[in-house]
Chain A
């Protein structure tokens, strides 16, 4: 604004009649009174010379008020730059609460106030997540405001130093408005003004989340870490899927391992902390890789038998049923044999035989026993959760484990189940088949099949959650603001205040 502004001109023009009015000001009307005897005691009688001085002081005050008003409207504040760059930080930490809104809202408000006070400054706009120039310096402040209004807190972040250093490397360095909670602009070479963007907030947030499928049955293991954990406390966390809480854990200073069972068809889960001042890092979504099916081969002469049916019903199993004369594939994850093989066997991570003559597999046996009883069951992964009490076996091969082999199920008739060493790895051998006992009618059968499938399933590679904030960003640290805006000696508001003070002073002088 310049002195050619209509309001400034009006104020200057107003000074002329004010001066004339004061110079030609009529004395107060004269009025006769009975006596000045008492009035003299209440009225301070200024001497004519002093009265003239007060008169002139009053005039000077009025003129000073008018001059200040005009200057406040017309003069550009000393130090007001020609060009300024406004760096608006749109990183996630700017979503932290600051008063009624967020830090980003506060930054926009500060930018608007600065623009109002510097109408003659060309202003450019830079965002920081990622660092990018949104607007070249312009006098169109409405465009600057609308550019800032379009910014949303982003999860990425960048270092604006290189860009602003290059922008400051000019003959007349521009002013930089650092509307950021993290960037200080130290050593930039430009005058940097940082307005206050609220208070320091609770910096708790998820900074590390990774997960992997442990098996093909939906077991998932997540590694979770939160920042801002109290030194003698923990932060409660939840794992959710579709609003259902799958697991809960308390997070300490160290990363926590959380195991939970996810639905097999679940493609993602969420890890959530209790909400705080910055919601951006309170909830993280992890995409789970699809569970890899276990490739199983069943060598059987009963393709519709109990075992084939159980394996087909298992969602995580890709089943290949082989007849004893069929050519086997080269390798599978799980090999189940309930008939004597005649065409060779594929390589497998887990091999199991049920009711097959052990000699056909190169193992020793003491013969077949009728009605053997189950007396003892050794703990073993394949027998996890399996209850064989009261199992009725019509007939079973009695196994003879070699040194180093493990007898798993035994009774008076001998060893009925064992883990036996063989060519290409151990065999899990059950001396009786599904037709020789009531095992298929018991829950134990399903457990044994599930345990075998789980043993054959490999663990998936861990997957890191995308968009997790960095620890620095998550802490939402707030750099201190500069005390006040530089180059701000006389804005219209300050001028208005000064005018008001002078008018009050003039009124007081006039009362004397």
Chain B
């Protein structure tokens, strides 16, 4: 078990107040069912299970009343990993994959239904509902090389209809044009009731080191002459800070939790950030 999984063992994904899953799970659903939490009484109808009749209430009122319980449902979790060419620099893709795998494992441990999508880099998709299915998710995530451009907006729309998922987490560097970035965040916010962005950035993004070069965009192939001057580097640091602020502002505007995940971040710190931003929470003791 990796360090990240070991750190995440006592955590679970934070879902909405009522889970929208279709299968039995550990989360309370809005619908009545066979959960552990008392919800209400209703009048007895013939055919109702006599085990649910509240005999104490019958003795007090003389009327047969049946106890109703909240249904326990699982969470529908969608994890999208950006595997476009820009994620292939440094260990961005590896970090994103490891983190997605950890969240998937956390979800599966709590009987959530987890769907993993790899966007770009050849694509990949897998769905699982139990820890035993983690291998299938691993296969979907397994990707050594990132390549091409990833159409994140299309992938998010293809992942399901509006609010189809309870939790959706996008792992990406989001190095796309501003309008594409906004569309991506909009699609992510529309996909789930608790959307989150894990913003993965590597050393090539945060502290690039270049001299007089002709830079070639790994995704578009576009070229740009750079001098590598001190002034140029200083301007880059300024632009980078502004851009990260724009990403955070975009997330806030659309209710997307945004977690910065530089590739050199320690797993413990990363999980702490996820807990602080409400993506993970300590797991409740089993009833």
Closest to A37 in B: B175
**B239 and A41: CB pair below 8 A?**
yes
- The stretch of A28-36, A66-74, A323-331, A431-439 in contact with B is A28-36
Closest to B219 in A: A35
Contact residue among B213, B216, B225, B236 (Cβ-Cβ distance under 8 Å from A46): B225
- The stretch of B13-21, B63-71, B119-127, B203-211 in contact with A is B203-211
**Interface status of B48 (Cβ within 8 A of chain A):** no
**A28 and B177: CB pair below 8 A?**
no
Which of chain B's residues have a CB closer than 8 A to the CB of A4? none
**Interface status of A511 (Cβ within 8 A of chain B):** yes
| Interchain nearest-CB distance for B99 vs A (Å) | 18
Known: A34-B89, A511-B229. A39 touches B215 (CB 8 A): yes
**B176 and A37: CB pair below 8 A?**
yes
Interface size class of A (residues with CB under 8 A): 20 to 34
Closest to A42 in B: B235
Known: A36-B215, A42-B236, A42-B239. A30 touches B175 (CB 8 A): no
**B227 and A33: CB pair below 8 A?**
no
> How far apart sit A36 and B225, CA to CA, in the bound complex (Å)?
11
**B229 and A34: CB pair below 8 A?**
no
Closest to B85 in A: A34
Which of chain B's residues have a CB closer than 8 A to the CB of A30? 213-216, 223
Closest to A44 in B: B225
Closest to A510 in B: B227
Within 8 A of A (CB), among B210-236: 210, 212-220, 222-227, 229, 232, 235-236
> How far apart sit A46 and B227, CA to CA, in the bound complex (Å)?
12
Interface string of B156-194 (1 = CB under 8 A from A): 000000000000000001011100000000000000000
**B86 and A34: CB pair below 8 A?**
yes
**B226 and A43: CB pair below 8 A?**
yes
Known: A27-B214, A42-B239, A43-B232. A34 touches B227 (CB 8 A): no
**B225 and A33: CB pair below 8 A?**
no
**Interface status of B58 (Cβ within 8 A of chain A):** no
**A33 and B215: CB pair below 8 A?**
yes
> How far apart sit A391 and B222, CA to CA, in the bound complex (Å)?
135
Which of chain B's residues have a CB closer than 8 A to the CB of A42? 232, 235-236, 239
Within 8 A of A (CB), among B69-101: 85-87, 89
> How far apart sit A40 and B173, CA to CA, in the bound complex (Å)?
17
> How far apart sit A28 and B218, CA to CA, in the bound complex (Å)?
17
Which of chain B's residues have a CB closer than 8 A to the CB of A35? 86, 173, 175-176, 217-219
Interface string of B229-272 (1 = CB under 8 A from A): 10010011001100100000000000000000000000000000
**Interface status of A38 (Cβ within 8 A of chain B):** yes
Interface string of A478-512 (1 = CB under 8 A from B): 00000000000000000000000000000000011
Known: A40-B224, A45-B224, A511-B229. A32 touches B218 (CB 8 A): yes
Interface size class of B (residues with CB under 8 A): 35 or more
Which of chain A's residues have a CB closer than 8 A to the CB of B86? 34-35
**A36 and B204: CB pair below 8 A?**
no
**A38 and B215: CB pair below 8 A?**
no
| Interchain nearest-CB distance for A325 vs B (Å) | 124
| Interchain nearest-CB distance for B157 vs A (Å) | 23
**B204 and A28: CB pair below 8 A?**
no
| Interchain nearest-CB distance for A309 vs B (Å) | 108
**A38 and B214: CB pair below 8 A?**
no
**B204 and A33: CB pair below 8 A?**
yes
Within 8 A of B (CB), among A39-86: 39-43, 45-46, 51
**B222 and A36: CB pair below 8 A?**
yes
> How far apart sit A34 and B243, CA to CA, in the bound complex (Å)?
15
| Interchain nearest-CB distance for A32 vs B (Å) | 5
| Interchain nearest-CB distance for B15 vs A (Å) | 33
| Interchain nearest-CB distance for A91 vs B (Å) | 62
Pick the most buried of A27, A28, A30, A37: most chain B CB atoms within 10 A of its CB.
A37
> How far apart sit A45 and B213, CA to CA, in the bound complex (Å)?
13
**B204 and A43: CB pair below 8 A?**
no
Which of chain A's residues have a CB closer than 8 A to the CB of B224? 36, 39-40, 43, 45
> How far apart sit A30 and B222, CA to CA, in the bound complex (Å)?
11
Known: A43-B225, A46-B225. A38 touches B239 (CB 8 A): yes
| Interchain nearest-CB distance for B189 vs A (Å) | 22
**A31 and B218: CB pair below 8 A?**
no
Interface string of A1-38 (1 = CB under 8 A from B): 00000000000000000000000000111111111111
Which of chain B's residues have a CB closer than 8 A to the CB of A28? 212-214, 225-226
Which of chain A's residues have a CB closer than 8 A to the CB of B243? 37-38
Closest to A51 in B: B225
Contact residue among A31, A36, A41 (Cβ-Cβ distance under 8 Å from B213): A31
| Interchain nearest-CB distance for A455 vs B (Å) | 102
Closest to B175 in A: A35
> How far apart sit A36 and B215, CA to CA, in the bound complex (Å)?
8
**A33 and B208: CB pair below 8 A?**
yes
Pick the most buried of B208, B223, B225: most chain A CB atoms within 10 A of its CB.
B225
> How far apart sit A37 and B219, CA to CA, in the bound complex (Å)?
11
Contact residue among A27, A29, A33, A37 (Cβ-Cβ distance under 8 Å from B177): A37
Closest to A38 in B: B239
**A45 and B239: CB pair below 8 A?**
no
> How far apart sit A511 and B215, CA to CA, in the bound complex (Å)?
16
Contact residue among B87, B218, B227 (Cβ-Cβ distance under 8 Å from A511): B227
Which of chain B's residues have a CB closer than 8 A to the CB of A39? 215, 224, 226, 236
Which of chain A's residues have a CB closer than 8 A to the CB of B220? 36
Which of chain A's residues have a CB closer than 8 A to the CB of B232? 42-43
The 7 A-B residue pairs with the shortest CB-CB distance, nearest first, are: A35-B175, A34-B86, A42-B235, A36-B217, A31-B213, A33-B215, A34-B89
- What 4 new A-B contacts, CB under 8 Å, besides A34-B218, A42-B236? A28-B214, A35-B86, A37-B177, A37-B243
5 interchain pairs (CB within 8 A)? A31-B215, A34-B205, A38-B243, A39-B215, A43-B225
